[in-house]
Chain A
Amino acid sequence: MLRRSPLLLFLTLPLLSSTPYAGLPLWAWGSLGASLLYAIVLIFSIEREWDEESNDG
């Protein structure tokens, strides 16, 4: 997961419409949400896969 997690960065692209919602365009909420998801995945995969990564190969 750690090595594949950068693919989540594609989800952060401004893909949604610009309809304002609570002061932010919808695409900004989407990008922020995807960045948050990437952050969470990164934190958990570092926790689970660090040892495996450092010893692998």
Chain B
Amino acid sequence: MMDKGLLDTQGIVFLLLYLVSLIGVGIVGLLRSKESSMQDFYLGGTGFGVTILFLTMYATQYSGNSLIGFAGSAYRNGWFFLVSVTFMIAIVGGYMLYAPKLYLLSKKQRFITIGDYIRHRYEHRLLTNIIVFIGILALSNYMLTNLKAIGYILEYVTGGTVGFAEGIIAMAVIMVIYETLGGMRSVAWTDAIQGILLLAGVLIIFAVIWVQYGSIASNEALLLQVKTDFFREPLLADKIKWLSIVIMIFFGISVYPQAVQRIYAAKDAKTLKRSFQLMIIMPLLTTLPLIIIAIIGAAHFPDLDKGSSEQIILLMLSKLTHIEGMQYVITLFVAAAVAAIMSTVDSAMLAIASLFTQDIYHQHNPEASQKKLTLVGKLFSWILMAVMVYLAISLPSTIWWLIQIKLEILCQIAPAMMLGVHFKEVKSSSILYGLLFGLGFTLVFLLSPLPERPFGLHAGVLGLALNGLVVYLHHRFKNVLQ
């Protein structure tokens, strides 16, 4: 147990008030629901305007990892981690390869999940099931890693007053309550609060650190002295790694099932267009400041190990507690971190519950009423959260590598999404073979003693290239094959 927490009584009270207010938002979401239907519950009645849609996209995309993990990575990797600014912008480029067409189609066909689109486009049960399974796997990873992160943060900032397991359980109960009360409406509205908190937190902390620790330029001499590796010449291997990361995230994160649901939930095309345009700016206002903070931190605290480097921002802030009002900044940082994590977990939970209800339960019970389906989805959310909490608390860290591979697997569904909307003549069999070859190749490299990064590229990126090649060859020569 730690001796002293970073949050004082006022900070803890603020955090508690914020958490209780989220349940209030859930109740308002319940009161505003128009009908007991899957569309209304999982897409908020498809009526989100720019403010809510943009903020829910922003808060969902920037997880706890963006706030804590990105700073740690920037501390360890230096300026190379500017790749995260590039890939966070590139994700929107990935959406643009399919979102304009998919949005129109979703309005006509009343899609709720990613599985709805795959089923409609390809009419192939096995292909739909594989893609739904990959989606659930990736989202479960998101939930688990973020739940674990929230447990560590709460334990750290309260000095052990709130234990790791207690923190996870308390947050999980709050999230599942507001999610089952108002569905997507509650999740999007709480995401909006969390998005504002995240943005304000990052910008205020950036300003404080810039003023107190000096600018990048004024820290140059110190950095050149203690972090010479930040200024080494980029090697060919670095360039290949950069390219590989950008490709994997471009195709992987842009097809996240919860992101696809937000495309469906837009009120109209103009709303969606504006939200995406705003999302392009956010890496410059969120990711870049975090990298700069961490690099200034590396100049002042150069000898941290991996675990400590993840707490670089908290460490920098904790050294400024003699300044009046700094306690508020620390509270804001903790609230922003908790908000970033909660907005990711609640969206992932909602997306998994909708995938289960719509793509698994509904397919086996086609006669089930909308009311019953919504009820099943709510019940499933509670069971899912209980399982995830159990796993987050008990899963040994030795098997965490298994769930770190989500993006390499998730990007394999990109051809099904992106080619499907543009090329009507591409058949389900071509997509299925491509997916199986891509997945198979990726898993062989990730689960065997073979190198995880053949030729310096992520196995998932090479798997995606193979996936696309197989789709092309099968499509081109399928008549010859038959």
A-to-B contact residues, CB < 8 Å: 2-3, 5-6, 9-10, 12-15, 17-18, 20, 22-25, 27-28, 31-32, 34-36, 38-39, 42-43, 45-47, 50-51, 53-57
Q: In whole Å, how far is B206's beta carbon from the nearest beta carbon of chain A? A: 15
Say yes or no for B231: interface residue by CB 8 A criterion: yes
Q: Which residue of B lies closest to A6 (CB)?
A: B93
Q: Are the CB atoms of A39 and B246 closer together than 8 Å?
A: no
Q: Is the pair A43, B277 in contact by a Cβ cutoff of 8 Å?
A: yes
9 residue pairs bridging A and B, Cβ less than 8 Å apart: A14-B80, A20-B231, A22-B220, A23-B218, A39-B283, A42-B280, A43-B280, A53-B96, A57-B101
Whether A9 contacts B280 by the Cβ 8 Å rule is no
Judged by DSSP, the binding face of B is helix
Interface string of B168-183 (1 = CB under 8 A from A): 0000000000000000
- By beta carbon, the residue of chain A nearest B103 is A54
B15 interface hit (Cβ, 8 Å): no
Chain B minimum-CB-distance residue to A23: B216
What B residues does A27 contact at CB under 8 A? 79, 234
B250 within 8 A of partner (CB): yes
The main secondary structure of chain A at its interface with chain B is helix
Contact at A18–B82, with CB atoms within 8 Å? no
Contact indicator A57/B92 (Cβ below 8 Å): no
Report chain B residues within 8 Å CB of A42: 89, 92-93, 96, 280
How near does chain A come to B107, taking the closest CB pair, in angstroms? 10
The answer to whether the Cβ of B90 comes within 8 Å of any Cβ in the partner chain is yes
* Contact partner, B82, options A5, A20, A31, A38, Cβ 8 Å: A31
A54 and B101 within 8 A (CB): yes
Closest to B288 in A: A32
| Chain B positions near chain A (C-beta within 8 angstroms) | 79-80, 82-83, 85-86, 89-90, 92-93, 96-97, 100-101, 103-104, 215-220, 223-224, 230-234, 238-239, 242-243, 246, 250, 269, 273, 276-277, 280-281, 283-284, 288, 422, 424
CB neighbours of A35 from chain B (8 A): 82, 85-86, 89, 283
- Give chain A residues whose Cβ lies under 8 Å from the Cβ of B231: 18, 20, 25
Given A12-B246, A18-B231, A54-B103, answer yes or no on A47-B273 (Cβ-Cβ < 8 Å).
yes
Q: Complex: how many Å from CA A17 to CA B79?
A: 13
- Chain A positions within 8 Å of B85 at CB level: 32, 35
**A54 and B89 within 8 A (CB):** no
**Neighbouring B residues of A13 by C-beta, 8 Å:** 239, 242-243
A54 to B85, CA, bound (A): 27
Contact pick for B422, options A9, A15, A55, A57, CB 8 Å: A57
By the criterion CB–CB under 8 Å, are B220 and A20 in contact? yes
Q: Do A6 and B219 touch across chains, with their CB atoms under 8 A apart?
A: no
Least CB distance, B291 to chain A, in whole angstroms: 10
The verdict on A9 contacting B86 (CB below 8 Å), with A14-B80, A23-B223 known, is yes
Q: In the complex, what residues of A have CB within 8 A of residue B230's CB?
A: 25
Closest to B80 in A: A14
B89 touches A39 (CB 8 A): yes
A53 close to B101 (CB less than 8 A): yes
The residue that B284 contacts in the complex, of A36, A47, A56, with Cβ under 8 A, is A36
Interface pair B273/A46, CB less than 8 Å apart: yes
Closest Cβ–Cβ distance, residue A40 to chain B (whole Å): 9
Which single member of B80, B97, B239, B283 contacts A15 (CB below 8 Å)?
A: B239
A-side contacts of B424, CB under 8 Å: 57
Among residues of A, the one whose C-beta sits closest to the C-beta of B93 is A6
